[in-house]
Amino acid sequence: MQTYVLWALFGMLGYSFMTLFVKLAERSGSASTYMVLIAI
């Protein structure tokens, strides 16, 4: 059960980081950075 909670927390953290990264990419207008994010 603890492993499931850990993975859920990690997933939420990763999602938040990805959203922040997308916002930064859009703000800077860097298309290459955005494409790299999609490629991953």
HEC assignment per residue over 1-40? CHHHHHHHHHHHHHHHHHHHHHHHHHHHCCHHHHHHHHHC
pLDDT tens, position by position, 1-40: 689 999 999 999 999 888 888 787 777 776 666 666 676 6
Predicted pLDDT of residue 20: 85
CB neighbours of 19 closer than 8 A, spacing ≥ 6? none
For 29, the domain range is: 2-39
Domain count, the chain: 1
Whether this prediction's pTM lies above 0.85 is answered by: no
